[in-house]
Amino acid sequence: MGRSTASTGTTAGGTTPATAPGAKGAGAAGGRAAFALLGSIQITLIYTLAATTVPLPRIARDFALQRADLILLSAAYGLTFAGLLLLGGRLADRYGGRRALTAGLVLFAAASLVAPLAPGGQTLLAARFAQGAGAALVAPAAMAVLRVLFASPAAHGRAMATWGGLSVLGATAGNLLSGVISALLSWRWALVVPPVVALAALMLAPQLLPGTVPSRGRSLDLPGALLATAGISLVSYGLVATDAHPWTSAAVLAPLSAGAALLLAFPRAERRARDPLLPPRFLLDRRRAAALAAVALTACGTASTFVLLSLHFQQDRDWSPLRTSAAFVPFAVALIACGRAVRPLTARHGARAVTAGGLATGSAGLGLLALTGLDTGTPYPLGLLPGLVLLGAGGAASFAGAAVLATEGVPARDAGLAGGVLNTAMEFGPTVLFALLLTLGDDAASLAATAAAFAAMALLHSVHRRART
């Protein structure tokens, strides 16, 4: 009972796409190639989210952007990505995963071609908004195709364990590569990666990906979509604005209040809808709700650490973008290594145990980082490196286990919905949690609070696992 049936034999969250199992009914090589394509797309979507983090100061200098402009630019992609994911998931279920994936890739590729060529900040901002809209359709559609590609519960569980680590791998790649590329060439070249991958995916998808059957009998819950999209976007914008404005200002209270009102109206609209955007039953499963909370928390922990440390290295220690990126290499190594090493543990103990262990390990890493206080006198090898390694290892395990738990038992007709909800937790959760952490006003306190939340979530998963044993 304590072991997830779909997690038996799962691969690690940090394994590369090429090592995923083959699709049922397809050749092993064809299944691996299809998974590699989908995995590369998912990594690129999250890479794009993080690609401007390290070179942001250089973008500000080139376009003469103020702090408020930078905040909006850094958040633009995530705002539309998170706000449109639920609608994107339902569109994938309604029209078929591969068709929705193709449409999303077209929009994402077009916007991504504009971004590196942007003549000014406004053009780059518009391109980032459009990239997020395309990504919001691509991400859940990819998971809908994945559900067809790996039809059996066991195969799908193994695939999702690998899939769970791709996002944090993409975020790490975004931070590392953008710093290296911007230091050696220009920040514009860091934005060339997304259109190249998107265009390659558009060419390869018809040959590698299976067709998906659209659910023509389903209606689109447009009122629910408008409430969810506007609510999530407004709340996200209000939280992002707290970095430049006090919580009591109109710039924060107006979007927060409006967004919260729309989100409170959303459940009532869903109960009345014939085919709701997010059926209430979907989140009533305590196991799924806990898994989504773990995803949101892990995403917040890794994202906030990257942001805080990137600023600390460049502003407090006066490190170059290249040196800043190099400082995160051990995190990436730990992420990939743990992803591979965790496979036998997942097979033996189940996805919930892996999630709990990953959260506990991540909590230890964040705790070590908090203890250093991010002091400029703290040596990197002894002060920051151990915490980064533990956080990378814990994040890989947590994402792997939670992705399996969040999608286990979801019928094929709701695969797009599952992808939309999982990615919403991954994108919207960090926005909410990171804004709350900023109110503490101290980087070390923020890391300590996140470490405590990781520990509490690990305990929750551990207790729930034992209760089901």
pLDDT higher than threshold 80 for residue 362: yes
pLDDT of residue 343: 66
pLDDT of residue 438: 63
Number of domains in the chain: 1
pLDDT higher than threshold 90 for residue 369: no
pLDDT higher than threshold 90 for residue 180: no
Mean pLDDT lowest for which of 16-25, 106-115, 145-154?
16-25
pLDDT of residue 442: 64
pLDDT higher than threshold 50 for residue 44: yes
Mean pLDDT of the residues in the chain: 79
pLDDT higher than threshold 70 for residue 437: no
The pLDDT tens digits of the residues spanning 303-334 come to: 778 877 877 887 778 888 788 878 888 888 88
pLDDT higher than threshold 70 for residue 28: no
Mean predicted confidence (pLDDT) in 163-188:
79
Reported confidence tier of residue 6, pLDDT bands at 50, 70, 90:
very low
pLDDT of residue 2: 40
User: Domain for residue 242, yes or no?
Assistant: no
User: Domain for residue 115, yes or no?
Assistant: yes
pLDDT of residue 70: 74
User: Domain for residue 255, yes or no?
Assistant: no
Whichever domain contains 189, its CATH number is 1.20.1250.20
Mean predicted confidence (pLDDT) in 255-262:
90
Q: Domain of 103?
A: 5-207+277-468
pLDDT of residue 23: 43
User: Domain for residue 235, yes or no?
Assistant: no
Mean predicted confidence (pLDDT) in 181-207:
90
pLDDT of residue 373: 65
User: Domain for residue 31, yes or no?
Assistant: yes
Reported confidence tier of residue 400, pLDDT bands at 50, 70, 90:
confident
Reported confidence tier of residue 266, pLDDT bands at 50, 70, 90:
confident
pLDDT of residue 464: 58
The pLDDT tens digits of the residues spanning 29-42 come to: 667 788 889 989 98
pLDDT of residue 214: 65
User: Domain for residue 260, yes or no?
Assistant: no
Residue 407 vs residue 145, higher pLDDT: 145
Residue 131 vs residue 359, higher pLDDT: 131
User: Domain for residue 233, yes or no?
Assistant: no
Mean predicted confidence (pLDDT) in 200-225:
78
Residue 202 vs residue 348, higher pLDDT: 202
**Helix/strand/coil (H, E, C) string of the chain?**
CCCCHHHCCCCCCCCCHHHCCCCCCCCHHHHHHHHHHHHHHHHHHHHHHHCCCCCHHHHHHHHCCCHHHHHHHHHHHHHHHHHHHHHHHHHHHHHCHHHHHHHHHHHHHHHHHHHHHCCCHHHHHHHHHHHHHHHHHHHHHHHHHHHHHCCCHHHHHHHHHHHHCHHHHHHHHHHHHHHHHHHHCCHHHHCCHHHHHHHHHHHHHHHHCCCCCCCCCCCCCHHHHHHHHHHHHHHHHHHHHCCCCCCCCHHHHHHHHHHHHHHHHHHHHHHHCCCCCCCHHHHHCHHHHHHHHHHHHHHHHHHHHHHHHHHHHHHHCCCCHHHHHHHCHHHHHHHHHHHHHCHHHHHHHCHHHHHHHHHHHHHHHHHHHHHHCCCCCCCHHHHHHHHHHHHHHHHHHHHHHHHHHHHCCCCHHHHHHHHHHHHHHHHHHHHHHHHHHHCCCCHHHHHHHHHHHHHHHHHHHHHHHHHHC
Reported confidence tier of residue 347, pLDDT bands at 50, 70, 90:
low
The rounded percent of the chain whose pLDDT value lies above 90 is 13
User: Domain for residue 213, yes or no?
Assistant: no
pLDDT higher than threshold 60 for residue 10: no
pLDDT of residue 194: 93
pLDDT higher than threshold 70 for residue 217: no
pLDDT of residue 37: 92
pLDDT higher than threshold 90 for residue 111: yes
